[in-house]
C-alpha cells in the first residue's frame, strides 16, 4: 500500500498546503481509495502522479467543509469523464443528503453508480465496515464538535514464503503450478504425484495496516483502533503550548498525537492537518511540532502535500520509503 498526502492544512488552504485529503494506492488491484476530500482535491490529483480514473472508494471523516467541499466537484468531474465504473462512499449520516442537495441544485448528473454507506453503526459497535478478498476496513468514533470517525485499513495476511529450492528438489517443474502451490492448495502433477502446497510455504505473513485519524481531541477510541498499526496518520492542529485551545476546539496537539501513537504501539506516526499559524518563518513551525511529538514518540514525521509513503508489512526489516 502507498499513502499520498494531497492536503495537509487545517481549516483553510495555504500556499504550500491544501486542505484535507489522503489517497491510498493499492497497486495489487490498480485502485485508489480517498480519505476526505477538501476543496481543490481534484486539482491536487492533477498535480500528482495518481490516476483519478482508479478511484473506487471515498471515506469521509466528518462534515466540516475543509474535509468535504471538494467532493461534489470531484464526483461531477468523474461523471464527465464518462468511464467511471462506480464509487462507494462512506461517511457520517448527513453525507448523502449533502451531496444530493448540491448535485440537485447545480443540475449535476452523476452518470455512474454512487453507492453510499453510513458508518455510524459500525463505528459504535466495532463491526467491520468493509471486508473483501484482500482488505478489511474498520472505523471508530472520534471526539469532535460534530460526529467524526477514524478509519483503519488492514491488509489481510499474505501466504507464507514459497520454498522454491525445495520445490526444485522435488522435481516440480516451474510454471503455473507454482502459483497454485504458493496459495497452499493441493495439486496433482502430470506424473501423478499429489503435492500439498502448505508443505512448501511458511507461516502466513501479516499484511500492512494504515490508520487515518482526524479531527479529534485525544480519545481512547483512537488508541484502540490504532493498536499495532504500521502507520498512524493523526491530526496535529495545534502545538503543545496551545493545549487549552485544542481542547476547547476539540482538536489534537502534537503531543496528543504522539501519546496516541505511543499508547497504540504503532510503527510510525505522521502529523497532518496543521494550523496555518505554523507556516515556515513563523514563531512555531512544523519542525517544532515534530520535535514536540518526537520527545514522546520517536518515529514521527510531519506530512507535506504530495509526500508519499510506502507502507511496509511487519515482516520486512526495511524502513518505510518516502518520496516526493
Q: Which residues are catalytic?
A: 66
Q: Report whether 230 contacts 315 (CB < 8 A).
A: no
Tell which residue, 318, 270, 294, 287, has the closest CA to residue 5. Answer: 270
Q: Report whether 183 contacts 284 (CB < 8 A).
A: no
Tell which residue, 26, 104, 10, 23, has the closest CA to residue 62. Answer: 10
| Other residues' Cβ atoms within 10 Å of the Cβ of residue 143 | 17
**What's the burial of 169, exposed, middle or buried (CB within 10 Å: 0-12/13-18/19+)?**
exposed
**What's the burial of 205, exposed, middle or buried (CB within 10 Å: 0-12/13-18/19+)?**
middle
Helix, strand or coil, per DSSP, at residue 203: coil
Amino acid at each position: 500500500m502507498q499513502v499520498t498526502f494531497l492536503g495537509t492544512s487545517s481549516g483553510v488552504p495555504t500556499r504550500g498546503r491544501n486542505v484535507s485529503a489522503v489517497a491510498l494506492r493499492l497497486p495489487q488491484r490498480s485502485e485508489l481509495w480517498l480519505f476526505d476530500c477538501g476543496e481543490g482535491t481534484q486539482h491536487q490529483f492533477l498535480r500528482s502522479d495518481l490516476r483519478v480514473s482508479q478511484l473506487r472508494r471515498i471515506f469521509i471523516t466528518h462534515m466540516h467543509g475543509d474535509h468535504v467541499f471538494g467532493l461534489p466537484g470531484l464526483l461531477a468531474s468523474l461523471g464527465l469523464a464518462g468511464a467511471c465504473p462506480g464509487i462507494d462512499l462512506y461517511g457520517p449520516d448527513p453525507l448523502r443528503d449533502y451531496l444530493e442537495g448540491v448535485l440537485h441544485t447545480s443540475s449535476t448528473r452523476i452518470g455512474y453508480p454512487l453507492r453510499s454507506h453510513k458508518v455510524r453503526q459500525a463505528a459504535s459497535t466495532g463491526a467491520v465496515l468493509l471486508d473483501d478478498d484482500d482488505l478489511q476496513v474498520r472505523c471508530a468514533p472520534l471526539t469532535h464538535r460534530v460526529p467524526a470517525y477514524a478509519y483503519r485499513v488492514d491488509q489481510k495476511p499474505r501466504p507464507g514464503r514459497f520454498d522454491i529450492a525445495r520445490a526444485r528438489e522435488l522435481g516440480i517443474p516451474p510454471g503455473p503450478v507454482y502459483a497454485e502451490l504458493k496459495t497452499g492448495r493441493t495439486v496433482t502433477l502430470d506424473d501423478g504425484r499429489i503435492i500439498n502446497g502448505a508443505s512448501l510455504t511458511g507461516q502466513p505473513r501479516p499484511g500492512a495496516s494504515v490508520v487515518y485519524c482526524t479531527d479529534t481531541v485525544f480519545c481512547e477510541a483512537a488508541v484502540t483502533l490504532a493498536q499495532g498499526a504500521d502507520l498512524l496518520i493523526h491530526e496535529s492542529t495545534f502545538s503543545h503550548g496551545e493545549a487549552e485551545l485544542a481542547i476547547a476546539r476539540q482538536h489534537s496537539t502534537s503531543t496528543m498525537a504522539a501519546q496516541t501513537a505511543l499508547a497504540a504501539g504503532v510503527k510510525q506516526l505522521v502529523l497532518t492537518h496543521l494550523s496555518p499559524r505554523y507556516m515556515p518563518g513563523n514563531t512555531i513551525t512544523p519542525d517544532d511540532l515534530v520535535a514536540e511529538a518526537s520527545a514522546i514518540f520517536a518515529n514521527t514525521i510531519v506530512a507535506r502535500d504530495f509526500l508519499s509513503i510506502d507502507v511496509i508489512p511487519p515482516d520486512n526489516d526495511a524502513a518505510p520509503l518516502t518520496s516526493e
